[in-house]
Amino acid sequence: MTEFTLTDLDRIIARRAASDDAMSYTRKLMDKGVAKIAQKVGEEAVEAAIAAVKGDRQELKGEAADLLYHLLVLLRATDLSLGEVMAELESRTGRTGLEEKASRPAQ
Ligand SMILES: N=c1c2ncn([C@@H]3O[C@H](COP(=O)(O)OP(=O)(O)OP(=O)(O)O)[C@@H](O)[C@H]3O)c2ncn1[C@@H]1O[C@H](COP(=O)(O)O)[C@@H](O)[C@H]1O
């Protein structure tokens, strides 16, 4: 199990989005704007769904990675942070962060 997280990827994306490296796919996507990034998210979501229905787990893994990467780029392009989305997900658990941490077994 890798320790690499969406937060780690989000930090990489932030650095690349702020760079002026013409070779950066992230930078190029940001330059194309929200509509193009949103289109990529839609395409990757459909490709992931098709892979799942086909039962192709290897393909689903790749498409899911593409989807998460493009979704994080979309959040950045729209000034919505990953933290805000995680807070929304946390609120749906009916718990506050403090309660969740308190209920975890001691390490
Ligand atoms: N996780 C990813 C990642 N996933 C997918 N992709 C790119 O997404 C693109 C999707 O390919 P497609 O064939 O669907 O798209 P395309 O034909 O190239 O482009 P369009 O014409 O459709 O816009 C590919 O070029 C992939 O390289 C990614 N590009 C970058 N990252 C991460 O972002 C980091 C920074 O990348 P750069 O910005 O390129 O330095 C990398 O180190 C990775 O960690």
User: The CATH number of the domain where 95 resides is what?
Assistant: 1.10.287.1080
In a domain, residue 51? The reply is yes
Is residue 51 predicted with pLDDT exceeding 70?
yes
Per-residue pLDDT, 99: 60
> Which pTM value belongs to this model?
0.89
Host domain of residue 73: 6-103
In a domain, residue 42? The reply is yes
Is residue 105 predicted with pLDDT exceeding 80?
no
Average pLDDT over residues 75-97: 92
Q: Which atom of ligand 1 is nearest to the CA of 21?
A: 40
- Enter the ipTM: 0.91
In a domain, residue 59? The reply is yes
In a domain, residue 79? The reply is yes
| Percent of the chain predicted with pLDDT > 90 | 86
The residue with greater pLDDT, 97 or 60, is 60
Provide CB contacts within 8 A for 9, sequence distance 6+. Answer: 68, 69, 72
Average pLDDT over residues 12-21: 97
Write the Ramachandran bin of 21: left for phi over 0, alpha for psi from -120 to 50, otherwise beta: beta
State the pLDDT confidence band at 94, using cuts at 50, 70 and 90.
confident
What's the total number of domains in the chain?
Answer: 1
Task: State the first-to-last Cα distance of the chain, in angstroms, to the nearest integer.
Answer: 18
Mutate to test the pocket of ligand 1, among 2, 69, 70, 74 (most ligand atoms within 8 A of CB): 69
The CA 95 to ligand 1 mean position distance, Å, reads 36
Average pLDDT over residues 43-47: 98
In a domain, residue 1? The reply is no
In a domain, residue 48? The reply is yes
